[in-house]
Structures are given as structure tokens and as C-alpha cells.
Structure 1
Amino acid sequence: MLWDDRLISYDFGSGHPMNPVRVELTMALARELGVTDRPNVRVTGFEAAGDALLGLVHEEPYIAAVKQAGATGRPDPRHGLGTSDNPVFVGMHDASALVAGASVAAAEAVWTGAAEHAANISGGLHHALSGAASGFCVYNDPAIAIAWLLEQGAERVAYVDIDVHHGDGVQDAFYDDPRVLTISLHETPRTLFPGTGFPNESGGPGAKGTAVNVALPPGTGDRPWLRAFEATVPPLLRRFRPQVLVTQHGADAHALDPLAHLILSVDGQRTAYAALHRLAHETAGGRWIATGGGGYELVQVVPRAWTHLLAEASGAPIPPGTRTPAGWREFVRLRTDETAPQRMTDGTDVVDVQRWGDGYDPASPIDQAVLATRRAVFPEHGLDPMTDE
């Protein structure tokens, strides 16, 4: 687990949706529940990413612009710095490079065998582009970590993004690279930023089928979301056989999130984390790098969701009915003046999920979305869009 209290310096200021209190509360909850004290868990430090690492994904003039904006506090609209989404703050480069450094350190730990799984909940800044900030993201830490893995000799890396927003920056970074499979399950770009992530975005020349987009309708809840996940992610990972699995776990698909329109529960999200954990062992030799991402219900959702993620990665999931510790609830009150959730569950039963193999419903918007994705990419992997065979 990569953590440093300096990570909360990635802070766009008062009133911005991406308040770093969400990661502060997550780490506090994980500590209170004993996740960070488990014998197989190490909380380790790391170095900020230097220019050479950042340059694996980002253009040199952009890195210079981030440094300049962070030093002077002046906007640079040419590079997306100083918008309402990405306001400039003093120390922006240092804070952003620290997040990227944590994800690269996670990648290094997994690639060298120092750890089987590694997590950076402050990361997952998947919208940052090669030459511009976008969508609350300055440096694209998952893309930088993947690019680092390729530099080390990795031949197949899979990236699965379950944020409610399309993982556009990571897709763009590897759109023409057949060594990287990117899979994103997100709300349809017809109704949500960034307006990309349609099924026909399937990879550039020589990499067809390696960009996978499942664009789900507003109002999608746990069971249909998990049906879409099971219909796309496992068969593609099994066929691709990545050497490393990198995942982004934006918690903003939750029903309470103020910026989007899917209606998952913490229980549905926890189920997805467990599925990705199993797939890491089944398809990638257990090598799993997990990052955070979006998530703007700062108290009720993100801390519980990501504490479940950290516990899952440690190999000992937290029972959903577990009460949140009284000490943590008091900390929440002091830090946010809000009432913390009482339990680690939303009380949702998501066990009964209809699998794709159980039958296709042509009248279902979910099944229409899934089939569009399967038709766009499955043949490129030698898979039948209807049967997985």
C-alpha cells in the first residue's frame, strides 16, 4: 500500500468536488478497521515522479507549464490549467508528481515481485492527456505506471477502469499499442463527461480490439452493471492473458455521487473489487495494481468503498455488515461536520446476477450496450460476440 500524508496536498481548493478529505477519511477508516496493521500489509513511502517518468506519457512543454503554473499561481489555458475543473494551485506540480510516483512505485513493487498486489488510492487520475490537464487530473498516473511497465519489458498489460467516467487519457496513451488492453465501463458519453468512450473506439491500426468501451445508460444499478462487467471483462482478460493487471476504482458510479447518474451501491462496488482480484490471480499471475479515481460523495461513499478495496487486496475482505468504528465516526464529524455511515454496507443484495450466457434480451438497454461492445471487439480476440467461444 503506497501512502504518504503529503498526498492530500493534491488539492484544487475549497468548493472543488475533488476534496482530498476523501482519501484522508479512507486511510483513517482503513487504520481503524485494522487493514493497515495486517501482517501481510506494508504501508510504504515513495519518491515523486521525476521529469523522465512523467515524460513517458506527458509532453515536455506541458510538464514545464504545470511547474510554472504551480510556482506562480497563474493559469495556462493552452494546457488546461486554470479552468473550473482544473484550477491552478501553488505546488501543483509537486503534488501531482507525488501521486504519479506512488503509482509507479506500486508498479515497481509488483513487477519486481516485492509485492503481489499494490494499491495507491490517491491515484487513478485517468483523464490527464499528454499535453493538457483534464477532468480534475494533472498527470495521468495509471498511464505513467503502465508506460513504466512497458519500459521494463512487459509485453501485455491490461487496464480495467470502473470509474463512472470514461478512462479517456489512458485509452489515448495506448490506443495504437497492442501491448496494452484498456477496458472502461462507464456512463454513456451521451450524458456525461468526457464525451468519449463509444464502443466503436476500439484501437488504432495494428491494435484493433485493444480499446474496449462499455457505455451504460443512466440509471444502471448493481445487477445490470455486474452483468455488463461479467459479459466483457473476464472473457477478454482470459484471452489477453496480461502479465500485470492495473485497475482504476473510481467510486463515482454510486447512487449518491453528485456528478453522475449510475446507481450502484457500495456492495456492488465491493463485488466488482472481488471479481477483479480473482481475475488478477486467474489471468495475470496475481500481479495487481489498484488505484483510486473519481468519487465525490466524500463521506458516505468513498471511504467505505476504498477501504473495502484495500481489504480485498490484502486478501481478507471486510464483512459488509461490519460497523464503522466509533473513533472514525467522530473523526468524520470533526473533519467535515457530517454524520458518518454506521456500517460498511448499503444493505444491498447483489448475489443474484444474470450472466450473459443465461440469455440475451434485445429489449434491454444494458444488453444492447453490452452487445455493441462485444460486436466491436470480441472478433478481434477470436471470440464470438454471442457466446464467448
Structure 2
Amino acid sequence: MKEATYIYDDEILKYRFNDTHPFNQMRVKMTTDLLMSAQFLQKQDIVKPRIATEAELELVHSKSFIDAVRKAGHGELDEKEASKFGLGTNDTPIFDNMHERSKLLVGATLTAVEAVMEGNSRKALSLAGGLHHGFSGRSSGFCIYNDTAVAIEFIRKKFGKKVLYIDTDAHHGDGTQYIFYSKDDVMTYSVHETGRYLFPGTGHITELGDDIGYGYSINLPLDAYTEDDSFKHVFSTSLERAIERFKPDVIFSQNGVDSHFRDPMTHLNLTSESFEYIPRFVDSLAKRYTDGKWIAVGGGGYNLWEVVPRMWAQVWLAMTGETAPRGQLPKEFIETYKSKCPSTFPMLWEDALHDYIEIPRRTEITEKNIATLERLMNHL
């Protein structure tokens, strides 16, 4: 059995709304190039994704929504009808062949699932996925089909296993949560910036699930400008309790890196320290609770040059047992991308903190996060 499998093909770059849209899958290619130039990723580690079938999409998505996405991508859906399905908005504009491009992203995540659940690999990573705002019948927040929800339902139906879904994106994983809100064999855990200031405005501590799913939806909303130490404390404490209680068969994690202090769309204040920590903590939980079974996807992250490749690389490095590297990035990677970078190009694996501003409200923010943690622990 392989220790870890990496799902990638250049075709996934065609999931692209337009040239100015902040969701840019070039970040996946850049992460792949960084890992390969540093020789942490080899060609034999990479598996090409398959395309999801219509039946697989229908595990969580309505036929009417799938049909609307297909028509929209071929110019056959009028504006009024598109709006019913969350299509054609500023966040989720229509682009050519969007149904076909989205099916490949879902298929990439399913390829990762199959690698682990069929016993070919202990862990698998598909950074193209993580589209957690997609709902059963509508798109939202850059997300068309919800690959994570399709994958989790695939695990439930085909393999009959319990799944712990861990979402560390700065934005609440609303679509995935609500798809499984009434299930007791999927626990959704989301740590995110409070919805008081940030899309989608959900993820309150009181969102605990419904019917037999009550208690299996876990939310930890953090105060804006939360820093590394506070994040790591509340994250590790609550997640450890959640996994002890739930006892999953497999971990599925969404690894948005938009809570980095340089991300332009959010208000958290994390550095590379947290993004080195998160996947290694998840890996330690997988080793203790799920016989190492861990499937990971990407998610948010909108500072393409300064943040995403280095932070996402840490997920693969954690999967393969590598300690977080220090010092200069590979020369080949720098030579390939530095001249294209419109901002300050990062030269080191770890963050250079010349532009990091410590928040005067640190004590207050930390205390508020601890109070939120204590409330959550009462539900766990």
C-alpha cells in the first residue's frame, strides 16, 4: 500500500470563471510545481483524475440543478432561470462547459476517495476540490458542484463508513454541513471566522444538526484577527474531543488557506505556523483513530502568489511524514514564477513576517475564543 497519493492533471485548470475572478486553479499547478521542484513529490505519486458520472453527482445534487448547470455552460439557460440556481452571479458566473469542467473536479476528489477506500493508499490529496459552498440545488460562493459532499456520500453509500469532515477554511462550510445536517454517520466540523463579518454568515455554535443528526454538526466561529496560538489551542482541543466522541472510520479534510493574514478576502491573522500545524495534527488523529485513512482537498485561498502554494504544500508534506522545511524555496520554482509575480514574491518556505501587524486586541480576542470553545465543549 502506498503511503500517499496525489491527484492532479492540467485539465483541472479549466475550471475557471474568468481572468479576473479570485478563484484561480493555477494555485494547484503552482503547488504541484513547488513540491516537484523540491523533490517532495515524484511522478509516481501522481494519479490523473477520472470524471464523475451523472449518477455520482446525483448522490447529493438534484437533477434539475445538474441540468441547469449543463445548459448554462452551453449558453442555453436564460438569466432568470440561471438565478434560481445561483448561477450567473458575481461570485459564481457562468463559463463555457462548466458542467464538464466541474465533473472533473468532483471526479478528482472521488479518485482520491477510491485510492484510500479501496486500500491502494493510506492517504490521498486532491487540491482541486474543496468546494464546500455548493448546495443540493444551487451554486454559491465560487462553488458549483460540492465535490466534498458527493465524496462523503459516496463513502457512506458504497463503503458504509462513518466520516469525520474537518473544514479549516476561513469561510464556514455551509453547503457540506446542511447536506448532512440530519445524518448521524457524518460529523461535520468547521472552524472559521465568525459570520458577523464574513460570507456566508452561518456557522454559529448553535447549529448542531437536526433529527438523528443533532450533535453531529460542530461549529467553532473565531473572532476576526485571531492569531496562531489562539487558533491552534481551540482547534486542537475541540477537534480531539469531537473525534474521541464520534470515532470515525475515515477523515476527510477541507484545507482552505484563506485564514492567512495576507489573504485579501478574510480577517483572520494566521501565519505559516498554523498551516504547518493543521495537517500534521490531522495526520496524528488519523494515525490514532482511523488507521491512517485520510482524504484531503483544497478550498479557499486567494493570495495566489504569496500564500497558497507554500501553505498547501504542507498538506502533502504532512501526509508523507516530512517536517516543515525551512529556508529558501527551490531555485527552479523561484525562476519559474518570480518574474510573473505582481507583488513581493516569497523566497522562503516559512513566512517572512516583515508585513505582519500584531493586533492590540490580542488578549480580548483570545478570551473570546476561549469562551466560544467552552460553550462548544458543553455540546461535545
Same fold (TM over 0.5): yes
- Superposition deviation, residue 239 in structure 1: 2.1
How has the CA–CA distance of structure 1 residues 205 and 318 changed in structure 2, closer, same or farther, with 3 Å as cutoff? same
- Superposition deviation, residue 344 in structure 1: 0.6
Q: Deviations over 1:48-105 (max 9, x none)?
A: 1111000001100000111111111754111011000001000111111111001111
**RMSD over aligned Cα, in angstroms?**
1.7
Aligned to 2:367: 364
Aligned to 1:17: 22
**Whole-angstrom CA distance in 2 between matches of 1:73 and 1:219:** 44
Match of 1:208 among 210, 214, 237: 214
**Whole-angstrom CA distance in 2 between matches of 1:340 and 1:29:** 13
Secondary structure, aligned partner of 2:99:
helix
**Whole-angstrom CA distance in 1 between matches of 2:160 and 2:208:** 22
Aligned to 1:101: 107
How has the CA–CA distance of structure 1 residues 73 and 328 changed in structure 2, closer, same or farther, with 3 Å as cutoff? farther
Equivalent runs, 1:347-358 vs 2, <5 Å: none
How has the CA–CA distance of structure 1 residues 262 and 50 changed in structure 2, closer, same or farther, with 3 Å as cutoff? same
Aligned to 1:355: none
Match of 2:225 among 219, 228, 232: 219
- Superposition deviation, residue 330 in structure 1: 2.2
Q: Which moved more, 1:29-38 or 1:235-244?
A: 29-38
> Residue 242 in 1 paired to residue 242 in 2?
no
> Residue 54 in 1 paired to residue 60 in 2?
no
**Whole-angstrom CA distance in 2 between matches of 1:172 and 1:343:** 39
Q: Which amino acid aligns with 1:146?
A: I
Equivalent runs, 1:307-318 vs 2, <5 Å: 307-318=313-324
Equivalent runs, 1:122-141 vs 2, <5 Å: 122-141=128-147
Equivalent runs, 1:107-118 vs 2, <5 Å: 107-118=113-124
Equivalent runs, 1:167-182 vs 2, <5 Å: 167-182=173-188
Match of 1:8 among 5, 13, 16: 13
Which sections of structure 1, spanning at least 5 residues, go unmatched? Answer: 349-360, 379-389
- Superposition deviation, residue 206 in structure 1: 1.1
How has the CA–CA distance of structure 1 residues 338 and 178 changed in structure 2, closer, same or farther, with 3 Å as cutoff? same
Contact 2:85 2:137 in 1 (8 A): yes
Contact 1:332 1:338 in 2 (8 A): no
Contact 1:251 1:294 in 2 (8 A): yes
**Whole-angstrom CA distance in 2 between matches of 1:251 and 1:200:** 25
Which sections of structure 2, spanning at least 5 residues, go unmatched? Answer: 1-5, 354-363
How has the CA–CA distance of structure 1 residues 53 and 224 changed in structure 2, closer, same or farther, with 3 Å as cutoff? same
**Whole-angstrom CA distance in 1 between matches of 2:68 and 2:342:** 37
How has the CA–CA distance of structure 1 residues 362 and 144 changed in structure 2, closer, same or farther, with 3 Å as cutoff? closer
Q: Which amino acid aligns with 1:227?
A: H
Equivalent runs, 1:83-98 vs 2, <5 Å: 83-98=89-104
Q: Deviations over 1:280-306 (max 9, x none)?
A: 111111000010000001111100001
Contact 2:225 2:365 in 1 (8 A): no
**Whole-angstrom CA distance in 2 between matches of 1:106 and 1:334:** 33
Aligned to 2:359: none
Aligned to 1:70: 73
Secondary structure, aligned partner of 2:191:
strand
The number of equivalent residue pairs is 362
Match of 2:161 among 155, 158, 167: 155
How has the CA–CA distance of structure 1 residues 73 and 136 changed in structure 2, closer, same or farther, with 3 Å as cutoff? farther
Contact 2:251 2:293 in 1 (8 A): yes
**Whole-angstrom CA distance in 1 between matches of 2:148 and 2:32:** 20
Contact 1:329 1:339 in 2 (8 A): no
**Whole-angstrom CA distance in 2 between matches of 1:337 and 1:24:** 18
Q: Which amino acid aligns with 2:51?
A: A
Secondary structure, aligned partner of 1:290:
strand
Equivalent runs, 1:279-294 vs 2, <5 Å: 279-294=285-300
**Whole-angstrom CA distance in 1 between matches of 2:350 and 2:365:** 33
> Residue 186 in 1 paired to residue 185 in 2?
no
Q: Which amino acid aligns with 2:200?
A: P
Q: Deviations over 1:340-359 (max 9, x none)?
A: 211110157xxxxxxxxxxx
Query: Identity rate of aligned residues, in percent?
Result: 35
**Whole-angstrom CA distance in 2 between matches of 1:58 and 1:270:** 34
Contact 1:332 1:339 in 2 (8 A): no
Equivalent runs, 1:324-363 vs 2, <5 Å: 324-346=329-351
Aligned to 1:373: 376
Secondary structure, aligned partner of 1:364:
helix
Contact 2:7 2:108 in 1 (8 A): yes
